[in-house]
Structure 1
């Protein structure tokens, strides 16, 4: 398994040195794998030290939460391994004064033993120490007592609350009581989509089949409560929330904080979707989400999956969550956006600004009757060739061309006949539809081309064949200007420009319009195939250089496709 490491036996030390290099307020404690705050007051003036930690591999926990207002020290064991007693004791000695230290411990045997023994040793030295054990995993609630459950991502919220209480000067007993109360009102459940790989290992510690997910998976790969089939994000969020809400006995009208946590290999896109669904799931229950965060807060190396944490709130707990901290991994106040949608400004233009009667007349007019079936033919051709376009684009780009052209086709099929009453209006309406439907580069190219062509035909109620050729040439010029490409650069222009030239030449040679269009289609198809021998000099494929040779340009193939689809609809009149 490829990893960005030097020596697997030194990953934790080198990681901590990297963290410290970009966080001026922290430092590595001697030879121990411990990160501590640098700007601590003289021991008699120090507030309660809040210390946490555990095995590494959960980044940004725990080192990312060291800083004023959160942790005083993070004790980092080897990957997925509890830190030693001596390392915990060193952290206590380095950060605690007469006001003592609070140890926030996730409920794992190794952590409880080593942090517990370190606490006893510190007390023997005269340092007051309290321990708070977090056991927020609700997945096994039907099988185990609360005190026997695992501590997982919700622990980060306990870090924040305890750190804020300590920073404002609360006594040790009070900080501990606040932290314990938060832990009792906290529930978390996660899901894994696959396993994770330790540094130095050649493969993941376990694998899930393509048709399997693990509900309730622990943060070290421990088995969950159920292995089941994959489900949509909304169904998965509801499953996790149902267990959390059941454990906390949440009631309508209660206030909570919501944390959606990635396990290390989950894109922000997916976490945002889960956030959306979790927020809606809580809202359906009448539960008020006061604060929310989505991101990676306590990971499991490179495990794909997520967890949802819910913390019951009161005013005191909310104030501690909102308190300032310099910890670099804390995302800040998770203020909710209650109104996430605004209506766009509408500009009255084209057929939509016409009276209803005029729109109806346009939809029944001769141009609409000719143009609508032609556009539908293009749409069906694009849909039929979606897989082909995707394959071509995947070889030299990001593989989204097929999906983009399918969206274009759907836009064409839903374009109202009333928008097709005049040639210039039809081109403008088609360009606007494609602009809205197609993401990436294809949308702007086609929209710009159609808009330029529309302007060329403006005022021509019955454009002749040469007018249409002029409009096509204007469209090609607009694409070249917008993208900075020219024929020979391996783009859609290598099909479109030869088609325009062939059409123009055919008409000048007194060939019929249908014959000239057939020439244009052949020229476009030939031009598209010629791109397979070209080195790309524009667009995303240009990054590949000669590696793109051998495969036709997808954009050029699309042009040949829609030109051919229009062929049966080209008539001399």
Structure 2
């Protein structure tokens, strides 16, 4: 498995050296894998030190939370492996003063043993030390007693509460008490779509079948509550929120903090969808989300999936979460409102005019023809996606389906006359299709609408003129010419052939068939063209060998119209 590392045995040290190099406020112990604040005051003047740590692979935890108002130091073990007691003791001795230290420990056996032993050794050396164990995983609530639950992503919120208490000058006992109280009001549950792969390993840690997920797994890939079929994000999130709310006995009207956490390979796009669903599920239970975070806070290397943490809060805990803090991975929480803010559009770009609506009404053949175009675009989605994926981002098929949706949703008022229809279609396409396809098609159709203004029953020659005007508008907008390996390599030959055939007096069906033949020849020719515009231009000769997706898309909807014209 490919990873950007050097020696797999040195990944943790290399990672910590990178953090220390990058951040002047962080220091690295010479003989242990410990990151410590480099701006700590002299020992006698230090407040209670707050330390955490555990196995690496959970970045940005734990070193990412070292800084004022958060952790004084973080101890890093090997990937998914507890640090040694000696490393923890080294962190305590370098970071703590007479006020003592609080160790925040995730509830894993290795962490509890090594942090616990280090605490005993620190006390023997005269350093007052308290341990706070976080056991926030609610997934196995029916099979594991609360004291044996795993500690997972909610630990980050406990870091913040403890760090704020220490920065406020509270005593060792008070800092520990506030951290324990926060941990007691915290519940977390995760879902994995796949496994993580350790540095140096040749395969992932476990295998999920196609369409299978793991609910409630741990942050090292440990088994969860069940394996289940993949479901929509809203369904999964609702189930997770329900589990947390029931386990924590959250009552309507209570305030909570929400942490939406990616497990390492989950995109910001997906996390935003999860956050949307989590806020909706919590609000649906009449819970007020007073603070919220969304991002990667405590990961599992490159695992695809996420976890949700919900903490019951009061004024004091909110004050701790809001207290000033500076660390590489920390940012202040958002304050979601009671509902989404929706802003109405300020302008109406509806195309219809009173003159246009007064048309005689288009014959049914127009609707039949556009319905055929819609079907053709949907059927071509896999082909167009594959072609676009060879030279672009692969979204052309989906874009054309959105265009089909726009066609199917045209209102009855759009079918008054050709100009009104094309104007309505142009505005529908600009709203429906993102990327470059939407503006190109919308511009072409709107230009054609103007060309046909006042014409209720256009001739083949008039349709050819409108088509030519639309194709010209695409060239003007994008700056492409024939030979650049774009949709114009199909459109321009088609427009020329259509215009010539119509001018010669050929019937519409025959003229359009000649246009289609020219478009298909032009599209096929793009396979041997070196792209000069668009994303494909970045690939150069690597994009050659397959026809341009945009040009092929033109032939698919033109073929649908040819069939209807012939019948």
TM more than 0.5: yes
Distance 2:241 2:389 in 1: 38
Is the 1:368–1:422 contact (alpha carbons within 8 Å) kept by the matching residues of 2? Answer: no
Written as runs of structure 1 = structure 2, the 5 A alignment for 1:421-500 is 421-460=416-455, 463-500=458-495
Q: How many residues align?
A: 565
Q: 1:559 to 1:211 in 2, by over 3 A?
A: closer
1:144 alignment partner in structure 2: 144
| 1:564, distance to aligned residue in structure 2 (A) | 2.5
The TM-score normalised by the length of structure 1 is 0.94
Q: 1:461 to 1:239 in 2, by over 3 A?
A: closer
> Which ranges of structure 1 fall in alignment gaps of 5 or more residues?
none
2:131 alignment partner in structure 1: 131
Per-residue CA distance 1:319-358 (angstroms, 9 max, x = gap): 100111111101322221443322222426432x649xx8
1:237 alignment partner in structure 2: 237
Per-residue CA distance 1:439-478 (angstroms, 9 max, x = gap): 2211111011112222333455555444433322222222
Per-residue CA distance 1:381-429 (angstroms, 9 max, x = gap): 2223222222322333222222211221121122123223233322221
2:381 alignment partner in structure 1: 386
1:161 alignment partner in structure 2: 161
| 1:569, distance to aligned residue in structure 2 (A) | 5.1
Written as runs of structure 1 = structure 2, the 5 A alignment for 1:185-334 is 185-334=185-334
| 1:487, distance to aligned residue in structure 2 (A) | 0.3
1:26 alignment partner in structure 2: 26
2:343 alignment partner in structure 1: 342
Distance 1:72 1:345 in 2: 51
1:50 alignment partner in structure 2: 50
| 1:548, distance to aligned residue in structure 2 (A) | 2.2
Distance 1:251 1:396 in 2: 53
1:550 aligns with 2:545: yes
1:375 aligns with 2:370: yes
Per-residue CA distance 1:509-545 (angstroms, 9 max, x = gap): 4434433222111111111111112111112222222
| 1:105, distance to aligned residue in structure 2 (A) | 0.7
Is the deviation greater in 240-249 or in 33-42? 240-249
Distance 2:41 2:555 in 1: 73
Is the deviation greater in 94-103 or in 459-468? 459-468
Is the 1:368–1:418 contact (alpha carbons within 8 Å) kept by the matching residues of 2? Answer: no
> Which ranges of structure 2 fall in alignment gaps of 5 or more residues?
none
Is the 1:368–1:417 contact (alpha carbons within 8 Å) kept by the matching residues of 2? Answer: no
Distance 1:270 1:529 in 2: 37
1:514 aligns with 2:515: no
Q: 1:214 to 1:461 in 2, by over 3 A?
A: closer
Is the deviation greater in 384-393 or in 15-24? 384-393
| 1:178, distance to aligned residue in structure 2 (A) | 0.3
Distance 1:151 1:284 in 2: 27
| 1:100, distance to aligned residue in structure 2 (A) | 1.2
Is the 1:257–1:290 contact (alpha carbons within 8 Å) kept by the matching residues of 2? Answer: yes
1:412 alignment partner in structure 2: 407
Q: 1:139 to 1:366 in 2, by over 3 A?
A: closer
**Equivalent of residue 395 in structure 2, options 394, 400, 416:** 400
1:502 aligns with 2:511: no
Is the 2:485–2:529 contact (alpha carbons within 8 Å) kept by the matching residues of 1? Answer: yes
Q: 1:563 to 1:213 in 2, by over 3 A?
A: closer
Distance 2:532 2:85 in 1: 61
1:37 alignment partner in structure 2: 37
Distance 1:283 1:327 in 2: 31
